[in-house]
Amino acid sequence: MRETGRKLIHISAGIFMLICLNIFGPNSFLVIFFPLLLLGLLMVQFENQRFKVPVISSVFELFERREVMPGKGALWYGITVISSVAFLPLEVAKLVIICLSIGDGFATLIGRNGRFRNPLNRLKTLEGTVSFIFSALIASSLFQMYSPTAVFFIVVAAVAESLEIYLDDNIRIFFVGLFFSLFLF
């Protein structure tokens, strides 16, 4: 249940940020969300120093994985989104956010009950990778970002997310966005 709640927040936050990015544009988005990222960093610092912030501590208690530093995943998520909007072309940044939130979220929600192991990573399933691709494709079409390059981006991001390497999947997807922005967009 904890992981389901985490991923539903993950997906909802991504959809909310994509809507904000479409409404306000990248500059206003950064003005709004960069201070929120800094506030998040502060809250994570408080939590890791055992200083309890009433609402934030309750959220960590309900949704955070027990075996990791509180807020680690949320921080990488926020840093990746802000970096994507700040440094990548807008279309690529949106694809990164779609893959980070919707693709990764559905990969976990569906893939954790999968039966077929992913040959790229024995801890993940093929069902998760396929659901990453299909959910991200649906989301990209809803945000009117359907092109052969977008499809290729999503498939490459799904493969990058599946790799069994010690590098946060948020960062891997950002690097896919960086690669695409340098060579294909």
Q: What is the pLDDT of residue 4?
A: 84
Instruction: Provide mean pLDDT across the span 155-170.
Output: 91
Q: What pLDDT score does 5 carry?
A: 81
Question: pTM of this prediction?
Answer: 0.89
- Kindly indicate the confidence band of residue 70, based on its pLDDT and cuts at 50, 70 and 90: low
Domain that includes residue 58, residue range: 2-183
Could you give the percent of the chain with pLDDT greater than 90? Answer: 60
Residue 17 confidence (pLDDT) above 70 = yes
Question: Rounded CA gap, 153 and 137, in Å?
Answer: 10
Q: What's the half-sphere exposure (Cβ side, CA atoms, 13 Å) at 23?
A: 7
* Number of domains comprising the chain: 1
Backbone φ, ψ for residue 39 (5° rounding): -65, -40
Q: Which two tokens mark 51?
A: 């200083």
Higher-pLDDT residue of 106 and 64 is 106
pLDDT value of position 181: 93
185 pLDDT higher than 90:
no
Residue type, 121: N
